[in-house]
Structure 1
Amino acid sequence: MAVDATLPTTVISAPATSSSSSGSSSSTTKTTGIADNFQTFLTLLTTQLQNQNPLDPLDTNQFTQQLVQFAGVEQQLKTNDQLSALIGLQKTAQSTQALNFVGSTAVVDGSSTNLANGKAVWALGVSKPSTVTVTISNAAGQAVYTGNFSMNAGDHQAFAWDGRGNDGAQWPDGTYTLTATAKDASGQTTAISTEIQGVVDSADLSQDPPVLSIGGQQFTIDKVKKVVGRTSS
C-alpha cells in the first residue's frame, strides 16, 4: 500500500482470511459617497472665499477649522483607497496560494475522509508514546474496522487503511470516519489529534476565502495546517 514517504506511517490491514460581491458593492458605494461630499465641500469652500465681503472677511478660526476638515476628508479618501488596494492584494495572494495547493497532499482538522481505490489516510498526533485504538465507521455509522497499534510522540503521523474490515471483507469506496483514543505507558488516557490527509483535487476561487476540495470534502484555505508535498503524476 503506497503511503506518502515524507511522513511516519502506520499501515493497518485486517487478515484476508478474516458573500463577497455584495460587500464589495456596498464598499464602493460608500467610497463614492465620500468622494462626492469631498468635491462638494471643496466647491463650497472655494465659492465662499471668492465671494466673501472684503470689509468682513471670513473668520480666521472658522477658516482654519474648515481647512482641517478638508484635510481630514482628503486623508480618509486616501486611506480608503489604500485599504482597498491591500484587500485586493490579499485576495490575489490567497487565490495564487490556493492554485498552488492543487495536486499537493494537505493536512486539515477532521475525522471523515474518502476511501478511494482501497486507500484512506488520516493523520494522528500524540504528545507522548502511546497505544492507540482506532475505530473506522462507514457513512451509516456502522463500525467496519477496529485495531490497536503503538505510536511515538509527534504530530501529523500518517495512518493508512486499505478498506478491509476485521472480517477481511473489502469495503466499497465512500466516506469513512475514524475515532481514536490513546493511552500512555502507565495506562492513562492521553490526548490524540485526528486530521485528514488527502490530495487537493481542486480550488474554488469564486469563494472568499478560496475553497479546496480534499478527500471529497470542502475546506476553506485557512483550514490547511500542513502541506506534505505534491503527488507525482
Structure 2
Amino acid sequence: MVDSVSGAATTSSSDLGTSRKTIADNFDTFLQLLITQLKNQNPLEPLDTNQFTQQLVQFTSVEQQLKTNEFLETMMQSSQNSTNAQAVSYVGKTVTASGATTDLIDGKANWIYRVDAAAENTNITIKDASGNVVYTEAVSLAAGTDQIVWDGTTSSGSKLTSGQFTITIDARDSNGKYVPVTTEMQGVVDGVDVSGSEPFILIGDLRIPLSSVSSVHASASSPAPDPETPETEQEAA
C-alpha cells in the first residue's frame, strides 16, 4: 500500500485560512467604525488617537503572526513531503532496520547482529508471532557484525515456510558475563504508509518506522558483513 505522498496538514491550513479571514473582516469593521467616529466626533472633544493607534498596532501584530505561522507551516509541509518521497523510493529495495522481528520468506529468515565482544556461550531463541519457541541453538559468536540465517526448520524437525518470527540472542562470554548485542532485520519493501506523522515502510505485515532504517540496497541480495570482521555466517539449520 502506497498512500498519497502529499496529505498532511490540510486541517491546520484550513484553520489558518479561517483565522486570517476573521482578522481581515474584523479589521474592515474596525476601520469602518473608526471612520464613522472621526466623521461624527465632537470638534471640542476629539477622539484620543492613542487608543485607535494601539488597536491598529494590535491588528498588524496579529496579521504578522498569522503570516509567520503560515510560512512555518509551508516549510514543515515541504519537509514532510520530502520525507514521504524518500520513503516511497524504498519500495522494491532491500532495507536493514533495527528490530528483532522479520518474515520467513522463501524458506529463509535473516537477521543482522553486532556483538561487542566474543561471546562463546550464546543461546539463540526464535519465537513465532504467538510467542511460542520454535527453535533454539547454542552457538559461539565472534566480535563484530555478521548475520544469522534460519531456514524455517524447528527444533522438533518440522519445516515452516512462512510467518513472522522474533529472534533473541543471549550472548555471554567464556565467564558467563552478558555481552551486548544489537539486532537488525532485513527484507524487501513492498509498500509505504505515509498517513501518520512519520512514514512507515511495509515488509509483509511488518510496519517499520522510516527512522529505524539503517541501510538500503538496490537488490534483494544480503549485504556483505563488516569488512573489519571475519566472515562467519551463523547458519541455524
TM-score where L is the length of structure 1: 0.76
What is residue 68 of structure 1 aligned with on the other side?
57
| Structure 1 unaligned regions, length at least 5 | 1-19
CA contact (8 A) 1:104 1:227 kept: no
Change (3 A) 1:107 1:80: same
The alignment-based identity, stated in percent, is 35
What is residue 28 of structure 2 aligned with on the other side?
43
* SS in structure 2 at match of 1:165: coil
What is residue 126 of structure 2 aligned with on the other side?
136
CA contact (8 A) 1:113 1:216 kept: no
What CA distance in whole angstroms lies between the structure 1 residues aligned with 2:66 and 2:107? 58
Q: Which structure shows the higher strand fraction?
A: 1
What is residue 232 of structure 2 aligned with on the other side?
none
Output the amino acid matched with 1:219: I
Counterpart of 1:110 (choices 92, 95, 99) is: 99
What CA distance in whole angstroms lies between the structure 1 residues aligned with 2:116 and 2:189? 28
**1:122, distance to aligned residue in structure 2 (A):** 1.3
What is residue 224 of structure 2 aligned with on the other side?
none
* SS in structure 2 at match of 1:102: coil
Change (3 A) 1:42 1:232: same
* SS in structure 2 at match of 1:189: coil
* SS in structure 2 at match of 1:81: helix
* Residue 15 of structure 2 is aligned to residue 30 of structure 1: yes
Counterpart of 1:92 (choices 59, 81, 99) is: 81
Structure 1 residues 108-135: Cα deviation after superposition (integer angstroms, max 9, x where no partner): 3332221111110112232222233201
What is residue 9 of structure 1 aligned with on the other side?
none
* SS in structure 1 at match of 2:189: strand
CA contact (8 A) 2:188 2:203 kept: yes
What is residue 213 of structure 2 aligned with on the other side?
225
Matches within 5 A, 1:147-166: 147-154=137-144, 157-166=146-155
* SS in structure 1 at match of 2:58: helix
* SS in structure 2 at match of 1:86: helix
**1:104, distance to aligned residue in structure 2 (A):** 2.3
CA contact (8 A) 2:112 2:148 kept: yes
Counterpart of 2:67 (choices 53, 74, 78) is: 78
